Structure 1
Amino acid sequence: MKQFGNIYVIAATAVIGGALFGFDISSMSAIISTQPYKCQFNRPPWRTSAGDCLGPNADTQGGITAAMPGGSWLGALVSGFLSDIYGRKTSIQIGAIIWIVGCILVCAAVNIPMLIVGRIINGFSVGICSAQVPVYISEVSPPSKRGRLIGMQQWAITWGICIMFFLCYGSSFLEGDAAFRLPWGLQMIPAAGLYLGLLVLPESPRWLAGKDRWEDAHNVLTLIHAKGDHNSPFVAKELAEIRAAVEFERQNSDVSVKELFHPKMINRTHIGVFTQIWSQLTGMNVMMYYITYIFAMAGLGSEGDVLLPSGIQFIINVGMTVPALIFMDRWGRRPTLLVGAFFMCTWCSVNAALFATKARAPGVDEFSTDAISMVISGAASKAVIASTYLFVATFATTWGPVSWVYPSELYPLRVRGKAVALATSSNWAFNFALAYFVPPAFANITWGTYVLFAVFCFMMFTHVFFLFPETANKPLEEVVNIFDDTTPGSTKYIGTPAWRTHNERHRAVAVEQNQGVGSDEKIGIDQKEGAAV
């Protein structure tokens, strides 16, 4: 079968795996406020005095929403082993098949337990894809484009959120349970496209070489980086370096998850894990899952009336991810993370102050969920809406894409699959906790929920400043040196202080050009890992 080797085609196809996560987020956020959903998954006393269905209470809705990230946590943990055995591409295809099975169950759900099981299966798929798509792309990307290409995963997530939200909005005008079953069923289509699209894309040459499929690895390198020229000196050089890497890894074959916690590796392991944890503790998925609750509290009307205003933030999310894709490698990782944490702390603080000083308690039966525990109006309402939009724009330009790029740059090849899987699993563990926590939090501590996220953003700013080094545009040997510098005669690993590391994009581009290939054709630094480790 003919295969395509254009790096942008490879990335654009693979990141559909990220879009699956986006579809799930907005399919829940747009549907939980509609009457057909509430009537299908209702609770005693069943209806308000106005005759509307109450739907699940705050705790139950938190559990339904959290089922997907709970499954994703398990899927991410499993994905490292799956990827090492079957390959990067094949593991993503397996995730696509699992997604279709989950969608069938969710679409056919007649009660809450069936809905939760379907969402857990969907989550298992998302966990596999979200962990292995960055690994797959990183192993075929040029260093000067690596951030942009891996960051496309976040952009695909934003597109999935936006597309599915407006599908749900359109379906909300349908009668009966078709209002939520139709969009839940349509989620299967992208997964089928992902599976079929990957059939005509190559496997990672690194993985192929590790399985002694040297001819296949040579063919993939030729396809991606030499436009079919098997005699390319550059391909010969890269293949030799991959061979050296594989030999090195076999001589050091005692590789297990325990190595990630070795003193030599623990620092980068903790950084990768906390990159994903902090991306959740920003509170962004509160805006994604429960935006209809937030805008109802902002005085825009009942839960069903806020769907269209809520959709604006999803458009902002898509549009503001683009600057990060274009300029992320120029900006560097550290400045992007620091600026994002500072401004997100600011927007959360603004919302906390406004709700604390201007909100009132809702009237009896004013809303059908106790998660909507305060209502604000007038100029303060407009300020909350503006601050919410600014929060989304900040996350989309900073932590959103960088949180997927950064972990894949930290580790040697021999542990990358497992390390990124561990980091991604921490993302889903905290996603699960927050998805379950937020409705009861709004019900019980009201505006204090925003204070909590503001504190988290302040903590992540401090953490990044002191411990997160710059990795953008650096050859692997320099990334290794950042973490592995030691003082003579010392057994302690004393790396370069994070605040002394810098982005050196111009030098990276110059090196690629001096090697006789354009930056679009230069294989990533991950292919040079064996020589550096």
Structure 2
Amino acid sequence: MGKGYSPAIAANPYIVGSFACIGGGLFGLDIASMSAVLNNPAYNEYFGYPGPNRQGGIVASMPAGSFAGALAVTWLADRFGRKQTIILSGWLWVIGCIFQCAAQNVAMLLVGRVIAGLSIGTSTAIVPIYQSEITPPNIRGRIVSLQQWSTTWGILLQYFIEFGCSYINGNASFRIPWGIQMIPAIVLSVGMLFFPESPRWLMDRGREQEALQILADLHGGGDSKHPLVQLEYTEIKEQITFERTQGAKSYLDLIKPGIVRRVGLGMSLQMWSQLSGINVMMYYIVYVFEGAGLTGRRANLIADSVQYVLNVAMTIPAIIYIDRWGRRPLLLAGTALMGFWLFLVGGLQGRLGHWGYINQDKIWLVVGNDHATKAIIVCSYLFVCSFAVTMGPVSWTYPAELFPMRVRAKAVSVATATNWLFNFALAWFVPPALSNIAYKTYFIFGTFNFAACIHIFFCFPETAGRTLEEVEAIFAQGNAFTAWRISRDVGKQDLSQVQPTHDLDKHEIHDAGSLEEKAV
């Protein structure tokens, strides 16, 4: 049997889980590729100085494609596997970049961004599934949160590329960065050829020996009889056998008792992540800082870059401690803080600003008040820091942990599609909103954050540190509004009850569970 991957690579779950995160980085590349050209004279002249509505449409075309790509994962991931779907997403990105780089008009630019969106929607849905199925539970949150960190790196690197190219005269100032961003996707698609397929998907397809060998390479140094390998193999096999008795895999499974509640949680968390206002502070930070009174294109670009550096840096604590802190505390703290900072920004702008014009565009401005300008910029920095360490990584980690195997690909893709649906709406909404209701826009998003905090407190149970199979026990406790009562010990499996396979006794399996808990 040909393995189709490198056992040396598979021996390290950190390498296996983190490489696929390049798919998340593609999303970051897109954010910066648009954010950095908003005040690029060459871009604005070539595409006819797009107004708020047209520019919103250009930005929103990517999440429109992402919505379709995320839904396509429901079929692609189950039919062709997690690995092949990730490879496909990389080549779609390359095609989209070619169209954008060669765009002769707005229509061609939109086509390229929609195709790139298909790639991003596919990758952001499939990568967390792949990561959650190929890593041990004690580091799963850390690995899946790397998806968000790669997004922040994509934003930062692409922004500095755009910053450097802004000194080039003519259309090359925006075409070169749009072309360069296809390189990571090529690395992703080619590199994934050397990585293993998800063992859970293989076992669901009856390829049990391949799955066992991959588990051995990942978690047992190649030894298929290693206690931890046997524990995981037994858990996955028993869970899949159980799920096959519950009915055929179909969209109807998403509305069955015990599943529909979890689908709602996954969808609503992705919704709240967008309604937090992060779109305002990422895609349109140029507009935010202009409204705050920061003048000069270079000064704005430098201030923007500081925000993106903070976004990268503040994701690191979440990666390190997400499995120790848990999902609920991070979400509750993050939504409360983000709401607070947005209300401060709105309050400062509403009290000290007025309507004015920049390059003939009507905009709400804070003028001649250096202290207010600095305060607004600092609040926006603190907002992004709050998102980076809480909602950013958890919004990708949590949905990947909620669902049983029979509906996981469909349910995660539906949750991710929700993210892109709201991303699309808000990307189009923000420029006209800032042009019409100005500072009140921040109050709207601040209110959404406080509403999310209340929803999370009552309805979102903790999932940190549990195997995907143990999550089942969590949702057997209480009802949809008593998540705050559920102990973090609920769902922990009694390993002494696991039946051994391959001549492994219960004592060895129990020891494997101990190893798993201590393996951080």
TM-score where L is the length of structure 2: 0.92
User: Which residue in the other structure is 2:455 paired with?
Assistant: 463
* Aligned partner (choices 507, 512, 515) of residue 515 of structure 1: 512
Name the CA distance, whole Å, in 2 between partners of 1:361 and 1:495: 46
User: Which residue in the other structure is 2:483 paired with?
Assistant: 498
Name the CA distance, whole Å, in 2 between partners of 1:10 and 1:367: 49
Matched AA of 2:166: S
- Describe the superposition over 1:359-390 as per-residue Cα deviations: whole angstroms up to 9, x where unpaired: 12224xx33544x3333432111110010000
2:356 aligned with 1:362? yes
Give 5+ residue unaligned stretches, structure 1: 43-54, 487-493, 524-533
User: Which residue in the other structure is 2:366 paired with?
Assistant: 375
* Aligned partner (choices 372, 377, 385) of residue 393 of structure 1: 385
Could you tell me whether the CA contact under 8 Å between 1:474 and 1:504 is conserved in 2?
no
Q: Specify whether residues 224 and 271 from structure 1 end up closer, same or farther in structure 2 by C-alpha distance, changes over 3 A only.
A: same
- Describe the superposition over 1:338-374 as per-residue Cα deviations: whole angstroms up to 9, x where unpaired: 10011111001001111111012224xx33544x333
Could you tell me whether the CA contact under 8 Å between 2:271 and 2:419 is conserved in 1?
yes
2:59 aligned with 1:74? no
Name the CA distance, whole Å, in 2 between partners of 1:284 and 1:495: 28
Could you tell me whether the CA contact under 8 Å between 1:132 and 1:417 is conserved in 2?
yes
Q: Tell me by how many angstroms 1:484 deviates.
A: 2.7
Which region of structure 1 is more displaced relative to structure 2, 218-227 or 512-521? 512-521
2:37 aligned with 1:37? no
Name the CA distance, whole Å, in 1 between partners of 2:494 and 2:32: 39
User: Which residue in the other structure is 2:394 paired with?
Assistant: 402
User: Which residue in the other structure is 1:353 paired with?
Assistant: 347
Name the CA distance, whole Å, in 1 between partners of 2:97 and 2:46: 17
Name the CA distance, whole Å, in 1 between partners of 2:175 and 2:515: 48
Name the CA distance, whole Å, in 2 between partners of 1:291 and 1:122: 22
- Describe the superposition over 1:216-262 as per-residue Cα deviations: whole angstroms up to 9, x where unpaired: 11221111011112343443443343333333233334221122122
Could you tell me whether the CA contact under 8 Å between 1:342 and 1:461 is conserved in 2?
yes
User: Which residue in the other structure is 2:206 paired with?
Assistant: 212
Name the CA distance, whole Å, in 1 between partners of 2:264 and 2:480: 14
Could you tell me whether the CA contact under 8 Å between 2:316 and 2:389 is conserved in 1?
yes
Name the CA distance, whole Å, in 2 between partners of 1:413 and 1:520: 22
2:2 aligned with 1:2? no
Matched AA of 1:407: P
Q: Does the residue aligned with 1:484 lie in a helix, a strand or coil?
A: coil
Q: Specify whether residues 323 and 137 from structure 1 end up closer, same or farther in structure 2 by C-alpha distance, changes over 3 A only.
A: same
Name the CA distance, whole Å, in 2 between partners of 1:319 and 1:356: 31
User: Which residue in the other structure is 2:143 paired with?
Assistant: 149
Q: Does the residue aligned with 1:355 lie in a helix, a strand or coil?
A: helix
Name the CA distance, whole Å, in 1 between partners of 2:302 and 2:515: 45
- Describe the superposition over 1:152-181 as per-residue Cα deviations: whole angstroms up to 9, x where unpaired: 000000000000000000000001000000
Q: Specify whether residues 229 and 335 from structure 1 end up closer, same or farther in structure 2 by C-alpha distance, changes over 3 A only.
A: same
Matched AA of 2:39: S
Q: Specify whether residues 509 and 151 from structure 1 end up closer, same or farther in structure 2 by C-alpha distance, changes over 3 A only.
A: farther
Could you tell me whether the CA contact under 8 Å between 2:495 and 2:513 is conserved in 1?
no
* Aligned partner (choices 279, 297, 310) of residue 304 of structure 2: 310
Matched AA of 1:74: A
Name the CA distance, whole Å, in 2 between partners of 1:520 and 1:114: 52
* Aligned partner (choices 439, 448, 454) of residue 447 of structure 1: 439
Q: Specify whether residues 154 and 410 from structure 1 end up closer, same or farther in structure 2 by C-alpha distance, changes over 3 A only.
A: same
Identity of matched residues, %: 45
Name the CA distance, whole Å, in 1 between partners of 2:130 and 2:253: 22
Could you tell me whether the CA contact under 8 Å between 1:373 and 1:443 is conserved in 2?
yes
Name the CA distance, whole Å, in 2 between partners of 1:500 and 1:517: 26
Could you tell me whether the CA contact under 8 Å between 2:215 and 2:229 is conserved in 1?
yes
- Describe the superposition over 1:190-212 as per-residue Cα deviations: whole angstroms up to 9, x where unpaired: 00011111111100011111112
Name the CA distance, whole Å, in 2 between partners of 1:87 and 1:520: 29
Name the CA distance, whole Å, in 1 between partners of 2:224 and 2:468: 26
Could you tell me whether the CA contact under 8 Å between 2:13 and 2:218 is conserved in 1?
yes
- Counterparts of 1:259-270 in structure 2, within 5 Å, are 259-270=253-264
Could you tell me whether the CA contact under 8 Å between 1:142 and 1:521 is conserved in 2?
no
Name the CA distance, whole Å, in 2 between partners of 1:36 and 1:80: 40
Name the CA distance, whole Å, in 2 between partners of 1:373 and 1:404: 34
Q: Tell me by how many angstroms 1:127 deviates.
A: 0.3
Q: Tell me by how many angstroms 1:117 deviates.
A: 0.7
2:474 aligned with 1:482? yes
Could you tell me whether the CA contact under 8 Å between 1:283 and 1:453 is conserved in 2?
yes
Name the CA distance, whole Å, in 2 between partners of 1:86 and 1:31: 37
User: Which residue in the other structure is 1:51 paired with?
Assistant: none
2:328 aligned with 1:334? yes
Q: Specify whether residues 510 and 314 from structure 1 end up closer, same or farther in structure 2 by C-alpha distance, changes over 3 A only.
A: farther
Q: Tell me by how many angstroms 1:284 deviates.
A: 0.6
- Describe the superposition over 1:379-430 as per-residue Cα deviations: whole angstroms up to 9, x where unpaired: 1111100100000000001000000001111111110110000000000000
Q: Specify whether residues 418 and 68 from structure 1 end up closer, same or farther in structure 2 by C-alpha distance, changes over 3 A only.
A: same
User: Which residue in the other structure is 1:45 paired with?
Assistant: none
Q: Tell me by how many angstroms 1:470 deviates.
A: 1.0
Matched AA of 1:59: N
TM-score where L is the length of structure 1: 0.90
Q: Does the residue aligned with 1:285 lie in a helix, a strand or coil?
A: helix
Name the CA distance, whole Å, in 2 between partners of 1:212 and 1:463: 40
Q: Does the residue aligned with 1:373 lie in a helix, a strand or coil?
A: strand
Name the CA distance, whole Å, in 2 between partners of 1:59 and 1:241: 52
How many residue pairs align between the two structures?
501
Name the CA distance, whole Å, in 2 between partners of 1:274 and 1:287: 21
| RMSD of aligned alpha carbons | 2.3
Matched AA of 2:134: V
Could you tell me whether the CA contact under 8 Å between 2:227 and 2:511 is conserved in 1?
no
Q: Tell me by how many angstroms 1:495 deviates.
A: 5.5
Name the CA distance, whole Å, in 2 between partners of 1:360 and 1:319: 34
* Aligned partner (choices 183, 195, 198) of residue 201 of structure 1: 195
Q: Does the residue aligned with 1:362 lie in a helix, a strand or coil?
A: strand
Name the CA distance, whole Å, in 1 between partners of 2:493 and 2:406: 24
Could you tell me whether the CA contact under 8 Å between 1:82 and 1:91 is conserved in 2?
yes
Q: Specify whether residues 510 and 303 from structure 1 end up closer, same or farther in structure 2 by C-alpha distance, changes over 3 A only.
A: farther
Give 5+ residue unaligned stretches, structure 2: 497-508
